[in-house]
Chains A and B, each alone.
Chain A
Amino acid sequence: MATDHSRTAARFMISPSVLLLLGWMIVPLSMTIWFSFQSYNLLSPGTEEWIGLLNYEFFLTDPAFFEALANTLLLVGGVLLITIIGGTGLAILLDQPVWGQGIVRILVIAPFFVMPTVSALVWKNMFMNPVNGLFAHLAKTVGLQPFDFLAHAPLFSIILIVAWQWLPFATLILLTALQSLDQEQLEAAEMDGASALNRFVYMVVPHLARAITVVILIQTIFLLSIFAEILVTTNGGPGYASTNITFLVYAQSLLQFDVGGGSAGGIIAVILANIVAIFLMRMIGKNLEA
């Protein structure tokens, strides 16, 4: 509800954002699409030619693609599993009366603010290193052989590092949701004869369901694009054991300078992300109306 005057002003004020984002979406994306149909390598400039779907064929039949796809799904799924189960537990724990609650909260949230390269390097060297890492020392103390995490379980190690970074996010959101649960509702349920377990199952869990969906969808968006953690720990290796789609596309384009192949991979990544995004948009759209 407003006047023509303010509507005109509104359109004028919104246009810079719209134009910028439109440009940001359309220009590079259409370039990527264009490149993806070309044979184009930065090392041999001037030899570009239209090769149709060959890049896609090449990319999609490469065994590395399937390994990367599986790794991407494992990475996303593994981190989600750890952060949601751990986050729910932590949120419930932090919702209890605790001395120094504020400080504990701060401790738990801290990993989220650590930049990805730092957390990856700290974990890689100071914890997972088979000679000097803390885990190696721990293993020796109890009489076990130190385990070379990044060499023998690279993906698992990366999942662990990323989960450590994202656990605070899940905890914080679930805690916020938990605290917004109406206490009178719980008391009403108690008056109605619901036991503590019943209250948890019938009141708390449904209340958290929405927050959990939010956590899943938002984390998925970020987790699909995990890059720095892989770059500084394993560089995708050994072999392709810890390469995800994002890293594969990066390696194809900026390490092998294969613009065509990398672009085809990029478009495939966009399509995969869109499938996830559709679900996220639907949900956030619903919340917008509420």
Chain B
Amino acid sequence: MGSIRLKQVSKSFGSVEVIPPLDLEINEGEFVVFVGPSGCGKSTLLRLIAGLEDVTTGTVEIDGQDATTIRPAKRGLAMVFQTYALYPHMSVRKNIAFPLKMAGLDKAQIDRKVDEAAETLNLTEYIDRRPGQLSGGQRQRVAIGRAIVREPKAFLFDEPLSNLDAALRVNMRLEISELHQSLETTMIYVTHDQVEAMTMADKIVVLRTGIIEQVGSPLDLYRNPANLFVAGFIGSPKMNFVEGPEARRYGAHTIGVRPEHLEVSRDGGLWQGTVGVAEHLGSDTFLHVTVAGIGNLTVRAPGEVGVRYGDEISVTAPKERIYRFDKDGRAIQ
């Protein structure tokens, strides 16, 4: 249970086509992340799957059944919204029970399932509170609770962590991953944060302006980005790109090197440059180096590095770590 297939699905608002026809397959039990910059159509794609928007063309299949015209409630999917979308006038218990009540379950069954979910999500203590009395993380858990009691075919998450502070985000990320491990249900997760995508996904779908740029496992995308966009989007800090004569030496229009693949030495390297700002994080040091004829490079050096503003250093990129792209931004194999 829980495979989803999009066939030639497109979406237009009026005359504006936000998603040109695309195909996508999501396998049972997979954790799929839609990632891309804001306005890339990732949330729209999720809403098409949910049934909150009608597709303009194409079909949405859930478990091999055509679900294109089925109403959202009948698709057997559960959704966790960015703003949590809790019902403010209902207690936590009633919030979680709402989908079950709508499904017409009897009271004993509802109570049992709600208690179970509350237990799993550590909400038992707050069960009689209203959403307004909960912290952001607790609200998030209630929203997840409301989704899991339905035992849906798949979970849809629409940027669920974007309203939480950084520390909480890391925690919730783990909790959602653990939930996926224990439930083994398909999850589709939308985010603009590539770190979330990399840490959680089985499969990442990178979107830009409604077009799928690449689909693959996190390490796949990291190792073999299909194009400049994916190369720049995945990985932090961002990949360095160099154009011009230096790129042509490698037979490419653009070359890219990840900051963590650049090696720093005091003398005798590939490129000579001047250190600008050095960011000392303890575990790593980020150096912003200006190289004549190439531009600014970001270097991620492990551990503590004793360089300062204005130091002259040399930077080397191992040949096998250099990504090459053609004039259209496509990767050259």
Contact = CB atoms under 8 A, between A and B. Distances in A.
Interface string B6-39: 0000000100000000000000000000000000
Contacts of B47: 1
Contacts of B71: 3, 5
Most chain A CB inside 10 Å of its own CB: which residue of B47, B54, B71, B72: B54
B51 A3 contact: yes
A278 interface: no
A6 to B, nearest CB: 9
Interface string B39-77: 000000001000111100000000000000001100000
Most chain B CB inside 10 Å of its own CB: which residue of A1, A3, A4: A3
B283 to A, nearest CB: 40
Nearest to B71: A5
A61 B54 CA distance: 62
A2 interface: yes
Contacts, number: 14
Contacts of A1: 13, 47, 52-53
Q: Secondary structure at chain A's binding surface: helix, strand, loop or mixed?
A: loop
Nearest to B51: A3
A5 B53 CA distance: 10
Nearest to B52: A3
Contacts of A3: 51-54, 71-72
A45 B53 CA distance: 61
B287 to A, nearest CB: 39
Contacts of B53: 1-3
B95 to A, nearest CB: 22
A2 B11 CA distance: 12
Contacts of B54: 3-4
Contacts of A4: 54
A45 B72 CA distance: 63
A173 B71 CA distance: 45
Nearest to A3: B54
A2 B71 CA distance: 12
Contacts of A5: 71
A3 B52 CA distance: 6
A38 B72 CA distance: 59
Contacts of B51: 3
Interface string A33-51: 0000000000000000000
A87 B51 CA distance: 52
Nearest to A4: B54
A5 B72 CA distance: 10
Interface in B187-203: none
A3 to B, nearest CB: 5
A4 B72 CA distance: 12
A225 B72 CA distance: 50
A218 to B, nearest CB: 32
Interface string A1-31: 1111100000000000000000000000000
A9 to B, nearest CB: 11
A1 B14 CA distance: 11
A1 B51 CA distance: 12
B49 to A, nearest CB: 13
A211 B151 CA distance: 53
A88 to B, nearest CB: 38
A1 B54 CA distance: 9
A10 to B, nearest CB: 14
A1 B13 CA distance: 8
A4 B47 CA distance: 14
Interface of A: 1-5
14 contacts: A1-B13, A1-B47, A1-B52, A1-B53, A2-B52, A2-B53, A3-B51, A3-B52, A3-B53, A3-B54, A3-B71, A3-B72, A4-B54, A5-B71
Given A3-B54, A5-B71, 12 more contacts: A1-B13, A1-B47, A1-B52, A1-B53, A2-B52, A2-B53, A3-B51, A3-B52, A3-B53, A3-B71, A3-B72, A4-B54
Question: Nearest 4 A-B pairs (CB), nearest first?
Answer: A3-B54, A4-B54, A5-B71, A1-B53
